[in-house]
Structure 1
Amino acid sequence: MTTGFYYRTEDIRADKVLYLFVGSQIDREIVNLFKSPVPTVLEGSRGTGKSFLMAVARIELENSFSELKILPVYVAFRGSSLVHTSDPLQFRHWMLTKVIREVLKELRKKGLIVSSYACSLLSDNTNQDQTRLETKLEQIIDNYEKSYQNPGNTVNIINIPDISDVRDAFEDICITLGLERISLFFDEAAHVFRPEQQRQFFTLFRDFRSPYISCNAAVYPGVTHYGSFFEITHDATFKRIERDILEAGYLDFMWEIFQKQADEPVKIAFEKQRSLFNTLAFSASGNPRILFKTLSKSNKVNTSEVESVVRNYYRADIWSEHTKLGEKYIGHKALIDWGRNFIETHILTAIHNKNQWQIKEGKEELTVYFWIHKDVPEMVKEALRLLCYTGIIRKIDDGVRNSHSKIGSRYEIKYGCILSLAPNPQSYSEVLGRNLDIRRFNEFGATHPAYQSLPQQNLQEVQDEEIAIIVRMQLQQSIDVLDITDWQKEKLKGVGVTTIESLLSLDEEYLINNIHQVGAVRARTMKNAATAELLEYLSG
């Protein structure tokens, strides 16, 4: 079976992105929004393709730069978990510095030189040319991102400008260089359990508003805090990336993205057994990363192998990421564990039993949906939000009336989680896929007995001191916890990289010079992919 699927956008070379893009109507709408002057916030759980659609928009803008004169600039905030200084506005200062640095880098790539006036604004009105300014910004960023080694230390922020000066500088850059605008792409902008960072980010997102700057951000469902100064309905266009398994073109879309990446023998094998592919595609509930992971685990293309993958992945593997949240954030552990137990013991069992009864009675309406009363305890809602973040469930809509005309929210649970309970997932899928009905759902009222076991705790925002301790603990873990290939782990261990901290401490040149039989490009790709996964892991 092929192991060549791309799980992460960071692994994909820029010249392959447009080829791999399969533009459904919703995906095309999102890409066009990203390219427009309209501030856009895209929400989706991990693996749904937020970063990939950003990459498509950036590359399309890049390819049309000579015509449109729009400068696309990518800014990743995954390193935020490493920032631990005594500066109360450390995140704002760090990300503002990163934005300036990335804009200057993109301009330099195009051979465009910033005016001395803009340089003075971007260096807090000190006289620096573009080269010295970039060097100074690099030093500030590096000091912030190494601050986890000595939490509480200070970083010299004397050269970090005010946001109004940054806006003025970007306006000057656009006017003097003949640019239409600068388009900023903020990936992984809002991390779980860091509400204060999120609020600072969205305040900055709003403050960047200018005819010469457009902002785009990718966020996670359920755990994003916008703050009191940012109103999502007024300050941006909000979109969700959702691929509904009930849509007529769903299977065709998933088949096309599979064909773009699969080896020819695998394509032929699944073409002959299309129903097996359909089972894995439905099971992923629209998540390309999960589809590729389960395809990679199918060493043979036959019914028993696919059924084994469904049972193993959706009974165990899919829960590991959710459980890790509790291992990393002890204050939330009890609630995270309760949420898992609630889904496995009550939701999944109720849906499975209902479907089996419907099938036995010869009725066609089957479900992967459930309904939660709007007045359930807040801790239940928080547990469900965390389950949305990890993608095990998806909130479809609010204000839905149940069979007794009560109002609540409707959710979808991963199709594969339902299949995994069946003794014959493949045959069950062929019945379930044909008869899904979103109007049919199991109902959980405001006083369901399961709520009696809710943990007695008040969730509080995780403080920087607590995050610093957590990060130190995570850095000591083996690289085996990272979601990278076994080949990457083997090569890293071969040069003495065994812990997360040891990987973080090495630069690309070390790996290029010390990994035998691997060229510079491949070593750099491996380092970048591993580091991206590392920082996502640390971020929650």
Structure 2
Amino acid sequence: MNIMFNSDTDSGLILAAEECPPEKFSEYHNFSSYDEVIIRKLSAHGPVLVRGGRGSGKSALLIEAHRRMRMLPNVFPVYVSLRYLPLLQSDGQEYIGHFCELLSQSIQRELSERGLAHDFSSVADQAGLQQELTALAKSLSMRVVLLFDDAAHIGREKPLEVFFDLFRTISSSLTSCKASIYPGVTKFGIRFDVFNDSTIIDIVRSDVSAVPDFFPDVVRARYPRLAERAIFSDRLAPAQFANLLGRSVVGNLRGFILACNRFDDKEKIGIPEVTQCLLDMASDYFWPLMDEVAPKLGVYEALVEPAREVVEAIVEHATKSVRERTRGVAQDRVLIHRQIVSHYMKIFEILEYLGFVARREASRALKSGGRGPIFAINLCSLLDSVPSKRLTFEMIEEWLQGSAEPAELHASGPTFGHIKLPSLPEEHGLAILEKPVSVLAKSTAYPYGLTTNIIERLTGAGMTTVGKLANSSDRELDRIDYIGTAKIKTIRDVVYQAIWM
């Protein structure tokens, strides 16, 4: 998936695909052969979960599948964004009520936009929803496909069990459910068997040696100038450049686009320019992500500092051989004993979500005994810890080929010995909702944030916290001087990004 944004849509460089204007979606997005396989699976019958980290392209894939199914005569697709604050703040029957209401409204809107004659009644309970969905499919003589976006939130896991129970219950021979989830979803509930009740599709793009054309295709579609041989130095080819950036951000599309944007004003691109890009991405993109995500992690906010320590420990271990001069190139993958991963499970889930690491293999034998997963390490962080902080052609070749043995972390090793896990508090909601609205100002944590002028006007109108702003109506915002329809959308987009994962 390739996000293509014009200069007049600055916030689009960061904001989620579901906030892209529908009439601009096809103009701003281009899909590769890799994505086409996923889109076909989303369009096929049966329940599907698309799993990937922040900015990996989950929303864009669901939206594109929805757009294409709309053109099929025997399918009635409904895209439902679950970015709805009452869902995030409720559980049990209250969650079910909000869910049914939101889904009913989405179905009614889809019927209206398609000009289809069926009266879908608003329902407030699970049984009523099942009956209405069955009646809908039979009335239209179509297969109903429900695509749920942003179904999961790391900071509020309890409602997930309710969601997956609904997901399982409303799936039938007439209704197919699809949903996007993040790598750390583990709260599926007792009735939902993730392997028997769904097909999981992982969006994994960190291994550029396995899919060597994906990132070059993205560059050709989005940045044709960066695909021209003439602007590169003799030792750096366009395909190498694209794959190196893709591998550097462990395959994350949003990180990749932001990295490419740093070359807009470059007349000539060589290894020194790429080196500076990766170092800058480490300092002003990846580390600030932790600051942004921390207040929306709920009970897991306390794990942010240990997560920093885990990343630093992994990177230090992977670069140890270079510092000791036993290797010329740092190992870009690490094989970690499963006992360690189990002990720091939620931390690894958060790090995968943020793009500091990406799981390559689920299990491989360690030389010292035992088994564990292999994680690809973010090259931006890795290069930042190499003593010379200089990218070399030898590094590029080895990291793109992925041929070197991964570094190993053994169960009895001292690498994580100093990292202590804090006790987690009782679930108390998201800290981001209590933060002053000023946290949404443009910064390294919120490069797409609000201007000082807008923040002052919101504060003056009594919307002093992110929670108050999120709960405000469009009518309330419209009453504020110099805030109209366009500004309201910008504000909503920033608030959604601040609260949702």
TM-score in same-fold range (> 0.5): yes
Call closer, same or farther: CA 1:354–1:452 in 2, change over 3 Å: closer
Amino acid at match of 2:304: I
Tell me the equivalent position of 2:170. 208
Tell me the equivalent position of 2:81. 76
Contact residue 433 and residue 465 of structure 2 kept, 8 A: no
Partner secondary structure for residue 432 of structure 1? helix
Amino acid at match of 1:75: V
Call closer, same or farther: CA 1:180–1:438 in 2, change over 3 Å: farther
**TM-score, normalised by the number of residues in structure 1:** 0.77
Call closer, same or farther: CA 1:69–1:372 in 2, change over 3 Å: same
Tell me the equivalent position of 1:390. 354
Alpha-carbon offset, residue 321 of structure 1: 1.9
Number of positions where the alignment pairs a residue of Structure 1 with one of Structure 2: 477
For 1:373 and 1:60, locate their aligned partners in 2 and report how far apart those are by CA, in whole Å: 43
Partner secondary structure for residue 286 of structure 1? coil
Amino acid at match of 1:229: R
Contact residue 14 and residue 59 of structure 1 kept, 8 A: no
Alpha-carbon offset, residue 354 of structure 1: 2.7
For 2:500 and 2:23, locate their aligned partners in 1 and report how far apart those are by CA, in whole Å: 29
For residues 108-128 of structure 1, give each alpha carbon's deviation from its aligned partner in whole angstroms, at most 9, with x where no partner exists: 22223434xx53xx44xxxxx
Contact residue 432 and residue 499 of structure 2 kept, 8 A: yes
Contact residue 40 and residue 217 of structure 1 kept, 8 A: yes
For 1:37 and 1:198, locate their aligned partners in 2 and report how far apart those are by CA, in whole Å: 23
Call closer, same or farther: CA 1:381–1:475 in 2, change over 3 Å: same
For 1:71 and 1:342, locate their aligned partners in 2 and report how far apart those are by CA, in whole Å: 46
For 2:53 and 2:365, locate their aligned partners in 1 and report how far apart those are by CA, in whole Å: 26
Contact residue 367 and residue 438 of structure 1 kept, 8 A: no
Partner secondary structure for residue 336 of structure 1? helix
Alpha-carbon offset, residue 278 of structure 1: 4.9
1:435 aligns with 2:398: yes
For residues 317-374 of structure 1, give each alpha carbon's deviation from its aligned partner in whole angstroms, at most 9, with x where no partner exists: 3022224444455743443212211221x2112212335667x767xx8631111112
Larger mean Cα displacement after TM superposition, 270-279 or 331-340: 270-279
Tell me the equivalent position of 1:147. none
Call closer, same or farther: CA 1:454–1:284 in 2, change over 3 Å: closer
Tell me the equivalent position of 1:453. 418
Alpha-carbon offset, residue 381 of structure 1: 2.4
For 2:255 and 2:46, locate their aligned partners in 1 and report how far apart those are by CA, in whole Å: 31
Amino acid at match of 1:94: H
Alpha-carbon offset, residue 222 of structure 1: 1.9
Call closer, same or farther: CA 1:81–1:238 in 2, change over 3 Å: same
Call closer, same or farther: CA 1:23–1:471 in 2, change over 3 Å: closer
For 1:248 and 1:454, locate their aligned partners in 2 and report how far apart those are by CA, in whole Å: 34
For 2:465 and 2:220, locate their aligned partners in 1 and report how far apart those are by CA, in whole Å: 36
**Bigger radius of gyration, 1 or 2?**
1
For residues 51-80 of structure 1, give each alpha carbon's deviation from its aligned partner in whole angstroms, at most 9, with x where no partner exists: 111111111112x14xx2312211112224
Residue of structure 2 aligned with 1:414, choices 357, 360, 378: 378
Alpha-carbon offset, residue 453 of structure 1: 2.8
**TM-score, normalised by the number of residues in structure 2:** 0.83
Tell me the equivalent position of 1:507. 474
Tell me the equivalent position of 1:92. 96
1:292-303 mapped onto 2 (5 Å cutoff): 292-298=257-263, 300-301=265-266, 302-303=269-270
For 1:361 and 1:494, locate their aligned partners in 2 and report how far apart those are by CA, in whole Å: 54
1:347 aligns with 2:314: yes
1:29-48 mapped onto 2 (5 Å cutoff): 29-48=37-56
Tell me the equivalent position of 1:309. 277
Alpha-carbon offset, residue 499 of structure 1: 5.8
For 1:11 and 1:330, locate their aligned partners in 2 and report how far apart those are by CA, in whole Å: 24
For 2:438 and 2:352, locate their aligned partners in 1 and report how far apart those are by CA, in whole Å: 26
Tell me the equivalent position of 2:133. 170
Amino acid at match of 2:306: W
Partner secondary structure for residue 380 of structure 2? helix
Alpha-carbon offset, residue 192 of structure 1: 0.2
For 1:112 and 1:425, locate their aligned partners in 2 and report how far apart those are by CA, in whole Å: 60
Larger mean Cα displacement after TM superposition, 229-238 or 385-394: 385-394
Alpha-carbon offset, residue 479 of structure 1: 2.0
Partner secondary structure for residue 239 of structure 1? strand
Partner secondary structure for residue 322 of structure 1? helix
Residue of structure 1 aligned with 2:215, choices 248, 254, 258: 254
Q: Which runs of 5+ in 1 are unaligned?
A: 124-159
1:461-476 mapped onto 2 (5 Å cutoff): 462-463=426-427, 466-467=428-429, 470-474=431-435, 476=437
For 2:378 and 2:359, locate their aligned partners in 1 and report how far apart those are by CA, in whole Å: 11
1:488-503 mapped onto 2 (5 Å cutoff): 489=451, 492-493=454-455, 496=458, 500-501=466-467, 503=469
1:179-258 mapped onto 2 (5 Å cutoff): 179-247=141-209, 249-250=211-212, 252-258=213-219
Call closer, same or farther: CA 1:268–1:229 in 2, change over 3 Å: same
Alpha-carbon offset, residue 417 of structure 1: 1.7
Alpha-carbon offset, residue 183 of structure 1: 1.1
The percent identity for this pair of structures is: 19
Larger mean Cα displacement after TM superposition, 288-297 or 45-54: 288-297
For 2:249 and 2:230, locate their aligned partners in 1 and report how far apart those are by CA, in whole Å: 16
Alpha-carbon offset, residue 474 of structure 1: 2.7
Q: Output the aligned Cα RMSD.
A: 3.5
Contact residue 340 and residue 411 of structure 2 kept, 8 A: yes
Structure having the higher helix fraction is 1
For 1:223 and 1:340, locate their aligned partners in 2 and report how far apart those are by CA, in whole Å: 21
Call closer, same or farther: CA 1:112–1:22 in 2, change over 3 Å: closer
Amino acid at match of 1:78: R
Residue of structure 2 aligned with 1:373, choices 334, 337, 342: 337
Alpha-carbon offset, residue 408 of structure 1: 1.5
Contact residue 72 and residue 182 of structure 1 kept, 8 A: yes
1:320 aligns with 2:288: yes
Contact residue 208 and residue 247 of structure 2 kept, 8 A: no
Q: Which runs of 5+ in 2 are unaligned?
A: none
For 2:475 and 2:390, locate their aligned partners in 1 and report how far apart those are by CA, in whole Å: 45
Contact residue 205 and residue 251 of structure 2 kept, 8 A: yes
For 2:103 and 2:287, locate their aligned partners in 1 and report how far apart those are by CA, in whole Å: 35
Amino acid at match of 1:448: G
Tell me the equivalent position of 1:291. 256
